[in-house]
Structure 1
Amino acid sequence: MGAAPGRGCADDATLILDSWCGDQRSRAVTETGPIVVFANFLSDLAVDLDEGQILTTWAQQAPRKAWLLRPGDVFVTFVPLSRDFLRYVYDLTGVPPESVAVVEVPPAGPVPLARAREAGLVEQIRALAGDRGAALLPTALDASAIAFARDIGIDVYPYTTVEAAEAALKMIMLLNTKTGFRETAEHLGVRLPPGRTCRRPEVEGAVRDLLRDHARVVVKPDRSAGGHGMRFLSRHDLTGGVSLLLDTVGGPEGLWVVEQCLDVAESVSIQLEVSASGTRAVFSGAMRTVQGSCTGYASPLPPSSSHVADELEEWGTALGRHLVSHGYAGPFGLDALVDTAGVAYASESNIRRTATTTPHAMVTRLTAGSAAAPPAWSVAKGWTRSPMDFEAALARLGASRLAFDPNRGEGVVLYADAPPDGRCWRYAVIAKSLGDVEEHETALAEVFEFERD
């Protein structure tokens, strides 16, 4: 394991820790043993693999999965983790560095991480997992992740067998599409914006029809996430033809959803979990968006949209029952829009680990035992005027007393390592209330000298 920590190499998957302890008695996350945390952001679950560039951009968040690690675990990622970031994570979580293995896989273009066969990945993970009853925890449960688990000879968490995970895959793929969600939501009686599904050649006709009754429409490619490929159109935009305004997402015959563009007051979501005991709501909050793209999140729901909490949970529970009937287990999210009249409309489902699942797990872990009530928290990003490395960023937090304090259970956490450009920093803020979160964010913007919009 003698590779230098923090950097991969061109021709081999690299174990970046000098030693690793396989004593499964030191962990108690699952009854079966350690977890192989599989950061397979390059997946066709949410976006077609043809959209390689956006997937690669999203995958830069892979280091955040380090917050899930416990003694005995294995972390597989194609995004290198810096030594300073790993030390920071282990210090805050209390995980002995020598008890975890981190495997860095050289990127191979827009192909699933599980296909990195030339790097000897299967053999390495099989050797690390051994016969300790390990299970694979993929960021995206897709066909390649299931095949990878089968090749290694381990189960897929939280399913009892690989076959059980595979049986749920069809429904997972369907409900991570806009058309699949819309059809299922209508069947479950969930309120949706007026609209319809169609193939690309029919999009212009659908847009013209809806614009007869609505001032604006939103056009969504079937398999997309984070607002990628969405277009907002008005009657004025029809002069040059709709087809020229659409993204290449989905190809010439792909499915699209055309909906009324609501007068949105807030974008909200609820995150739930399906298990053998049923569906439970885990947390909810409000998304910060720009042109349909999520740029941040804050939990719990603010007072302005707290009145929709019960309805969100009702819709999420109904969707959870539907998922259970098709064999799904694990986390999922339901997004909604609250219009200026205060009415909520469901917009999409994410039957997978989302951008908030791991931060919430991190917040829960870091504040265990330090808070009488669940804390408020946010995740966001800001751009510094000049680049800095992780050590310099931590120094600024420490000098300003903004750094997360385990004793107080609040402060700022740099949860995704230093950005490649040294400027676009992702952070989490944990505090007792949303008001306190906002105060911390304002102070952080000054300390880090974030550029203003």
Structure 2
Amino acid sequence: MNTECEDPAALVVLANFESPLAVGAREVSIQRQWSQQAPRKLWLTRPGDVVITPVPISEPFRRYVAERLGTPRNSVRVVTLPDTPGLPMSQALKGQGLLRPLRAMVRDAPGARLLPTALDAASIALAADLDIPVLPYEAGRPRPDVLRAVAELNTKSGFRIRAGQLALRLPHGVVCTGAQLGRVIGELLSTYEEVVVKPDRSAGGHGLRFVTRNDRSRPAPPPHSRWVVERYVADARAVSAQGEVTAAGVEVPYDGEMRMSGGSFTGYRAPLDDLPEKTREELAGWTRALGRHLAATGYRGPYSLDAVADRSGTLYALECNVRRTATTTAHALVTRLTRAGHPAPAWSTGTVRTGSRLSFDRAVARLDKAGLDFRPGDVEGVLLYTDRPKDGRGWRYAALAPDRARLAELEARLTAALGSAQGGPKGRN
């Protein structure tokens, strides 16, 4: 199921990466960093759609996406917001006088629906201002209690409570305040060699810290902040499964291994086909159980369950993300580009660093010269997943191939063609 690509109505794609669902409102720098990925939302669009983005989208990238999707150039309208750190996008639209022209665009697209990256109060307010429904809610928009449930599950503490009720296996851990954090870390380190310290509301590994018994320093956050301290599961692989809640029920469209570096997410590889089958089945079962709970609250849409598998294949749930994540757009893109009649491909995302700064067109030319540039009708290749990076060197990509062995070969060729060191190596959970 790909809600983004299967709905016949026009989409108003809201790239609201600066959402309080993911991190605290004061985390302006990381929100700005994540917002640089907003151009990737173009991969979800069709002619007549609208994209609302917090960062400009270059003409070369717009041209590139249209050519790879086989859609007319400039058939998607882009609304770019001025830099408004800490301000919800719906308020920024009003403050910059952009709401009225956006309403006119929506009137030109009867039946349009809003597709937010994060389902938060500000995105629902924008849907109300535009008088359009939110995809994929049958009743038009989610109830306030759905938003509260989503906000709670996007915290580490909220997830631990729900996971316990659903009988998901968790690493031993404690929820505490900033004032209690030092004591809690010390108590857990009396039992375990290493612990993971996590801000209660965070995403992508932001703010996460590993602490060992030999560490003399201890974090000293604000006393009323909230934290989770967990046993570190050594030598584990970071895995996840993606769920989708629809009116018809719960599905698990894909699973994969997360590429991590220092606890931060750097990429993904799917499907997850080299763990014990019982481990993969357990991950899918946990994901369905979480989805049934979400369905009961009235939630509709995607969510993910993140976990680690230790050397024996024992699975431990870590957190869930009840929103569109770093993998949902990539999976929708790969599914869209895979022609009928072909088996589901293996695919991956990551970052490759070039030795020198490149323009967007120059980076594409290097892919083309190496025989890696994906074109409509191909069954394998590499795509530049988002716009030119600010430094011109750290290029995000999506790759697809008929199987995992061929995918690994493409990524090796990509590193040789574009850069000096591929991002996204396996690392600590």
- Where 2:323 maps in the other structure, the secondary structure is coil
The reply on whether 1:61 has 2:37 as its aligned counterpart is: yes
Partner amino acid for 1:76?
I
Provide closer, same or farther for how the CA distance between residues 436 and 165 of structure 1 changes in structure 2, counting only shifts above 3 A: farther
For these two proteins, the number of residue pairs brought into alignment is 418
Aligned equivalent of 1:413 = 383
Partner of 2:207: 229
Corresponding residue for 1:360? Answer: 331
1:156 aligns with 2:134: yes
The structure with higher relative contact order (CA 8 Å, sep 6+) is: 2
Whether 2:251 is the aligned partner of 1:280: answer yes
2:345 is aligned to 375
CA distance in 2, matches of 1:193, 1:289: 18
Distance in 1 (CA, whole Å) between partners of 2:284 and 2:11 is 30
Q: Which residue of 2 aligns with 1:444?
A: 414
Q: Is the 8 A contact 2:5 2:332 kept in 1?
A: no
- Structure 2: distance between partners of 1:223 and 1:103: 29
Distance 2:71 2:422 in 1: 37
Q: Which amino acid aligns with 2:372?
A: L
Cα offset for 1:306? Answer: 4.8
Q: Are residues 143 and 187 of structure 1, via their aligned partners in 2, closer, same or farther at CA, if it must alter by over 3 Å?
A: same
Which sections of structure 1, spanning at least 5 residues, go unmatched?
1-26
Task: Give the counterpart letter for 2:397 in structure 1.
Answer: Y
Aligned-partner residue type, residue 189 of structure 1: A
Given that 2:346 and 2:404 are in contact with CA atoms closer than 8 Å, whether structure 1 keeps it comes out as yes
Q: Distance in 2 between matches of 1:154 and 1:255?
A: 36
Distance change (3 Å), C-alpha of 1:80 and 1:213: same
Does the 8 Å contact 1:149/1:162 carry over to 2?
A: no
| Aligned residue runs from structure 1 range 97-116, under 5 A | 97-116=73-92
Show CA shifts across 1:42-62 (max 9, x none).
Answer: 110110120000011011110
Q: Where does the alignment leave 5 or more consecutive residues of structure 2 unmatched? A: 424-429
- Report the counterpart of residue 424 of structure 1 in structure 2: 394
2:233: which partner in 1? 262
CA offset digits 1:354-405 (Å, max 9, x no partner): 0000000000001132x52100000000211110011001111111111114
Q: Tell me by how many angstroms 1:407 deviates.
A: 3.0
Instruction: State the partner residue of 2:311.
Output: 340
**Could you tell me how far apart the structure 2 residues matched to 1:364 and 1:318 are?**
25
Aligned amino acid, residue 120 of structure 1: G
Q: After the TM superposition, which residues 254-333 of structure 1 pair with which residues of structure 2 at under 5 Å, given as runs?
A: 254-304=225-275, 306-333=277-304
Corresponding residue number in structure 1 for 2:219: 243
Shift of 1:223: 0.2
TM-score by structure 2 length?
A: 0.94
The AA in structure 2 aligned to 1:445 is: T
- The corresponding residue for 1:74 is 50
Once the 2 structures are TM-superposed, how far is the Cα of residue 265 of structure 1 from its aligned partner?
2.6
Question: What TM-score, normalized to structure 1?
Answer: 0.89
Q: CA deviation at 1:165?
A: 4.7
- The separation in 1 between residues aligned to 2:250 and 2:223, in whole angstroms, is 38
- 2:173 and 2:74 map into 1 onto residues whose CA distance is 54
Determine whether 1:179 maps to 2:183: no
* Counterpart for residue 14 of structure 1: none
Name the CA distance, whole Å, in 2 between partners of 1:84 and 1:223.
36
2:426 corresponds in structure 1 to none
- Output the amino acid matched with 1:132: P
SS at match of 1:97: coil
Instruction: Give the RMSD, CA atoms, in angstroms.
Output: 1.7
Counterpart AA for 2:56: P
CA distance in structure 2 between the aligned counterparts of 1:103 and 1:408, rounded to whole angstroms: 31
1:135 partnered with 2:106: no
SS at 2:206 equivalent: coil
Matches within 5 A, 1:191-210: 191-210=169-188
Indicate the SS of the match to 1:308: helix
Distance 1:105 1:119 in 2: 8
Indicate how the Cα distance of structure 1 residues 359 and 429 shifts in structure 2: closer, same or farther if over 3 A, else same. same
Say if 1:146 and 1:165, in contact at 8 Å, map to a contact too. Answer: no
Q: Is the 8 A contact 1:378 1:429 kept in 2?
A: yes
Q: Take 2:97 and 2:281, find their aligned partners in 1: how far apart are those partners? A: 49
